[in-house]
Amino acid sequence: MLQKEKRNVIVGQSGGPTAAINSSLAGVYRTARDRGYKKVYGMLHGVQGLMEGRYVDLSEHIQSGLDAELLKRTPSAYLGSCRYKLPEIHSNQELYDKIFKILNDLEIDCFIYIGGNDSMDTIKKLSDYAIITGSDIRFVGCPKTIDNDLALTDHTPGYGSAAKYIGTSVKEIIRDSWSLETSGGQIIVIEIMGRNAGWLTGAAALAKSEDCDGPDAIYLPELAFDVDKFVNNCRELLKKKASVVVAVSEGIRTADGKYVSDLEEETPQYVDAFGHKQLTGTARYLCNRLSNEIEGCKTRAIELSTLQRAASHCASRVDILEAYEVGGAAMKAADEGDSGKMVVIVRTSDDPYQASTEVKDVHKIANDERVVPESWITPDGTYVTSEFITYVRPLIQGDVAPIMVDGIPRHLYKPGFQELL
């Protein structure tokens, strides 16, 4: 039996960018070319851009080994991202027909999507439609999210670099807080990303070391948040030291389920296609409460925001290498016939750290969230345990030196590409 000639691959990026997502893109591209595929197309702004006929031939962008190395070190989504929710198949079959016509016209054999929970929902639906219609296109997900909340995988590429940046930044903020004394003391509240899962906020504990006491308290969204207890805890801490630093998740909620960021007067907020409200203002609200209730106390709200996912200058070598590997593993899985699957990372050892990859059914991953185990949070809910630190520390090891030009990191960029995006 003659083996079917390989045709083309298409790859897209979706959801929040990371410092490692482009390393996965480089892994997909290299493996596709090594396995004999003719062209590797890149969707511009994910599946949403694909439906508008927006894509590029990646061979025109990755033309040398230097380009590939620059791509690995380039933060954000090189191809552009999206937050687009595909409708249920039964409610809009015409849209699926449109997508598959585009893929067939491009002679696509393999569709790789790099993203998080919502992106895996896209892989699930497209692979289901391929089964319904008898299409032989393979759809495979490549994990990515700084939130680290994908099910069935030990961790996700992007998280290690974000955790490294958070641990580093919190340590630097603590150092800065020692510099100036104020008569009534000061409390700094650092707001860290994480809607329902506290993996990122817990990484603030990495600042604790021989030369740093670490943050004084850490609050994760896995447990109900009591504002009055928070204020009292800060008041007690301020009796023991002149400067208090606290890390909070943007997604902390009161016992009745209300986000702390919503406790102030309601203001219009952006809501994406998946119904996720943009969270901001948690640290600011808490600092206002502290200022009002602790006389003479200076407060400062710090929101790490985009910085924690765009800091390629502080990337983890483990993270960048694993991102590249899972990109290659996703392409390998699709090439060998898998569809409706996502690559997962399986940890086999903490010390020395060792991990491998497998593929799992995306139906068991999409639209699910993996949160921090409650046993990894201290009984009083104000810190993470040693088990959490043992879990995360291997993921932040090593550095990836930026390629510097005139004292500033160089990223992969092609003239005119931004206009395409």
Helix (H) or strand (E) holding 129: helix 117-133
Tell me if residue 147 is catalytic. Answer: yes
Which among 109, 118, 121, 147 is annotated as catalytic?
A: 147
Q: Exposed, middle or buried, 333 (CB in 10 Å: 0-12/13-18/19+)?
A: buried
d(Cα 207, Cα 230) in Å, to the nearest integer?
Answer: 21
Backbone angles phi, psi at 126, to 5 degrees: -70, -40
Place of tokens 């809910």: 381
Residues contacting residue 75 through CB under 8 Å, at least 6 positions apart: 17, 18, 19, 22, 309, 310, 311, 312, 411
Structure tokens at 254: 């009161």
DSSP 354-407: EEEEEEEEGGGTTT--PPPPGGGB-TTSSSB-HHHHHHHGGGG-SB----EETT
Q: How many CB atoms lie within 10 A of CB 300?
A: 15
Task: With H, G, I as helix, E, B as strand and everything else as coil, classify residue 76.
Answer: coil
Which residues are tagged catalytic? Answer: 147
